[in-house]
Amino acid sequence: MPISAAPVPAPVAKVGDASDALDLVADVLVLGGGPAGTWAAWAAAAAGAKVVLADKGWCGASGATAPSGTGVWHVPPDPVQREEARASRESLGGFLAERLWMDRVLDRTYDNMAQVAAWGYPFPVDEHGQQARRSLQGPEYMRLMRRQVLAAGVRILDHSPALELLKDDYGVAGAAGVERRTGRRWRVQAQAVVIATGGCAFLSKALGCDVLTGDGGLLAAEVGAEFSGMEFSNAYGISPAFASVTKTAFYRYATFYHGDGRVLEGAGSARGRSVIARTLLTEPVYAQLDQAPESLRESLRKSQPNFFLPFDKAGIDPLTQRFPVTMRLEGTVRGTGGIRLVNAECGTGVPGLYAAGDAATRELICGGFTGGGSHNAAWAMSSGYWAGGGAAAHARSLGVNAASRRPIGAGRATLRSAPGSRTLDHAAVVKAVQDEVFPYDRNLFRSTAKLNDSLERLDQLWQAVQDHPEQTARDVVRAREAAAMTATARWMYATARERRETRGMHKHEDFHEQDPAQRRRLVTSGIDRIQVRAESASETSVLAKAAA
């Protein structure tokens, strides 16, 4: 008889004390092992640094890219093609991106993809015998990146989420966390830290995204880092209603339908997503990829095996049969908001702290429009590369010995509650945050009244999330995730409230138009009290600053 594995009660790993902690010293500590983190670790090691990389999951399988795969913003250095590439999302992004940053990213990505090829990634070959480097299959790419990072001498700590940064008078000096399986605490003293923990998708079960709860943002905010573009944090991915696979490229070939078979007018995967969302508020929506040209059908399957996986398993042919769809929140993963960068090395302004990938703002290249489909992957490998190099240079320049520093933990929420405080119910907090950020009629279609209303409740949640959780490894990690999600939601809505217009993915029901006077970025800071200020796009031209 076939047996499903019986659900046996999981052993509960208690969090250990300092006595059996894993204590390491490094030049550079990278938090997160997706594309941004692995490129950062590789670049830092290539620059001669001793590097440790800690990932919440397993570096190689964890994060948004590994199970998904990505189209890449890989454009040959031909002036016409480059100009097309730069212009492609400029207006969609509300003209908040910077051409200098686009150029840098296009150049870096072109070179990094050549490196990926040199490492042996099996790129397809076109009719001229040239490798086509426009996309990367997730499992293959990230398996390769893990190998390269290990070969470069990086020590990887898997299943080891960071819980807080360490700091002293020189700035950020490492991080501490817990190994999930054993509950053993770890602590890495380092001269510089790269935050590459990905975005925040609020545990929506979008493909590969449940490890992405905004942890790095909370860590960075606790040492004073700022954010940019947090109002552009409401990306939703289309998936079959029952499944996790939010791969949206092929929905360009979809017709969307009401339950009775009538075509849903105006619905589309690119500009008609609002129509889908609005309809989903009251009735199910169905899709069929019936516009896919016959000649392409085999190509689709070969290009994204994982797109077809849930359909094959469920016995549905998406090309000839209708299936129900939903839209899952991908938050800042395919939104653009994140940690603000102040220089070309992806420094955050806090000494010793760097940010890369989805943890950092992508406004510099996408403005207020999604970086999904091409820009994000290019940004992850480029910003990771720069942040790793910058962190290694910072470590060299410090002149103090990492081992001799005596940093202390900078984490607060859930970690340092007053004695006698209540035990935190993190699952309840997560649910409450989701209730504020999932609904399309709150997060996708915004209004001042709704934002105020949500913020009031989120501020209360922020008070609640100061308490201690149970001291098991799982609870300690889950509690920090709940805190990070609460903080991210507050930054999102507090910033959205200040953008009184519609721009990029930020759609405001009280202000339907793009307002030329508001063509500026919004910078967000603070944890208990949140502040938002405006800065013009040109004012922040990081390269111009670096050159000055």
Partner 1 sequence: MIELVSQDRCVSCGICVRVCPTQVFDNGAKGIPTIARQEDCQTCFMCEAYCPADALYVAPEADRPVQVDEATLVAEGKLGKYRASLGWGTGRRSTAQEDDSFRILALAARAPTAPPQAPAAPTAPGPRP
Ligand X SMILES: Cc1cc2nc3c(=O)[nH]c(=O)nc-3n(C[C@H](O)[C@H](O)[C@H](O)COP(=O)(O)OP(=O)(O)OC[C@H]3O[C@@H](n4cnc5c(N)ncnc54)[C@H](O)[C@@H]3O)c2cc1C
Looking at residues 102 to 141 of the shown chain, list those that interact with partner 1 (rule: CB under 8 A): 121-126, 132, 134-137, 139-140
Q: Could you tell me which residues come within 8 angstroms of residue 171 by beta carbon, excluding any fewer than 6 positions away?
A: 350, 351, 352, 353
- Binding partner selected for residue 27 from ligand X, partner 1, none, CB under the kind-specific 5 to 8 Å limit: none
Q: Build a one-symbol-per-residue string for 38-77: x at contacts with ligand X by CB under 6 A, - elsewhere.
A: ----------------xxxx----xxxx--x-xx------
Whole-number minimum distance, CB 399 to partner 1, in Å?
32
Whole-number minimum distance, CB 439 to ligand X, in Å?
20
Measured distance CA(153)–CA(49) in Å, rounded: 10
Rounded to the nearest 5 percent, the helix, strand and coil shares of the chain are 40, 20, 45
CB atoms closer than 10 angstroms to residue 536: 11
Give the one residue of 104, 146, 328, 334 binding ligand X; rule: CB under 6 A.
Answer: 334
Measured distance CA(433)–CA(11) in Å, rounded: 28
- Binding partner selected for residue 54 from partner 1, ligand X, none, CB under the kind-specific 5 to 8 Å limit: ligand X
Give the one residue of 16, 32, 35, 60 binding partner 1; rule: CB under 8 A.
Answer: 60
Residue type, 266: G
Is 196 within 8 Å of 36 (Cβ atoms)? Answer: yes
- Binding partner selected for residue 306 from ligand X, partner 1, none, CB under the kind-specific 5 to 8 Å limit: partner 1
Measured distance CA(117)–CA(45) in Å, rounded: 20
Distances in Å between the alpha carbon of 444 and those of 34, 50, 73, 334, 527?
27, 44, 26, 14, 24
Whole-number minimum distance, CB 73 to ligand X, in Å?
7
Q: Could you tell me which residues come within 8 angstroms of residue 265 by beta carbon, excluding any fewer than 6 positions away?
A: 275
Question: Is 141 in a helix, a strand, or coil?
Answer: helix
Q: By CB under 6 A, is residue 206 in contact with ligand X? A: yes
Q: Could you tell me the sign of the dihedral formed by the alpha carbons of 248, 250, 254, 258, in that order?
A: negative
- Binding partner selected for residue 37 from partner 1, ligand X, none, CB under the kind-specific 5 to 8 Å limit: ligand X
* Helices and strands: H and E segment counts in the chain: 15, 20
User: Nearest to residue 380, comparing CAs of 32, 11, 18, 96?
Assistant: 32
Q: By CB under 6 A, is residue 215 in contact with ligand X? A: yes
Query: Looking at beta carbons only, is 352 or 455 nearer to ligand X?
Result: 352
Is 340 within 8 Å of 361 (Cβ atoms)? Answer: yes
Give the one residue of 36, 116, 223, 395 binding ligand X; rule: CB under 6 A.
Answer: 36
Is 179 within 8 Å of 22 (Cβ atoms)? Answer: yes
Give the one residue of 21, 22, 95, 417 binding partner 1; rule: CB under 8 A.
Answer: 95
Give the one residue of 16, 24, 27, 33 binding ligand X; rule: CB under 6 A.
Answer: 33
Looking at residues 227 to 256 of the shown chain, list those that interact with ligand X (rule: CB under 6 A): 237, 246-247
- Binding partner selected for residue 351 from partner 1, ligand X, none, CB under the kind-specific 5 to 8 Å limit: none
Residue type, 76: P
Q: By CB under 8 A, is residue 453 in contact with partner 1? A: no
Whole-number minimum distance, CB 301 to ligand X, in Å?
17
Looking at residues 73 to 92 of the shown chain, list those that interact with partner 1 (rule: CB under 8 A): 90-92
Give the one residue of 16, 35, 217, 411 binding ligand X; rule: CB under 6 A.
Answer: 35
Looking at residues 471 to 530 of the shown chain, list those that interact with ligand X (rule: CB under 6 A): none
The kind and range of the H/E element at 85 are: helix 79-88
- Binding partner selected for residue 440 from ligand X, partner 1, none, CB under the kind-specific 5 to 8 Å limit: none
Q: Build a one-symbol-per-residue string for 264-303: x at contacts with ligand X by CB under 6 A, - elsewhere.
A: ----------------------------------------
Measured distance CA(344)–CA(348) in Å, rounded: 10
Query: Looking at beta carbons only, is 193 or 451 nearer to ligand X?
Result: 193
Whole-number minimum distance, CB 499 to partner 1, in Å?
15
- Binding partner selected for residue 537 from partner 1, ligand X, none, CB under the kind-specific 5 to 8 Å limit: partner 1
Looking at residues 517 to 536 of the shown chain, list those that interact with partner 1 (rule: CB under 8 A): 519, 536
Measured distance CA(336)–CA(200) in Å, rounded: 11
Question: Is 341 in a helix, a strand, or coil?
Answer: coil
The kind and range of the H/E element at 220 are: helix 215-222
Number of residues that bind ligand X (CB under 6 A): 47
Looking at residues 218 to 257 of the shown chain, list those that interact with partner 1 (rule: CB under 8 A): 240, 242-244, 249, 252-253
Query: Looking at beta carbons only, is 28 or 377 nearer to partner 1?
Result: 377
Strand extents, DSSP E, 38-170: 51-54, 70-71, 135-136, 155-157, 162-168
Whole-number minimum distance, CB 74 to ligand X, in Å?
10
Binding site for ligand X (CB under 6 A): 31-37, 54-57, 62-65, 68, 70-71, 161-162, 196-198, 206-209, 211-212, 215, 237, 246-247, 330, 333-334, 357-359, 371-377, 380
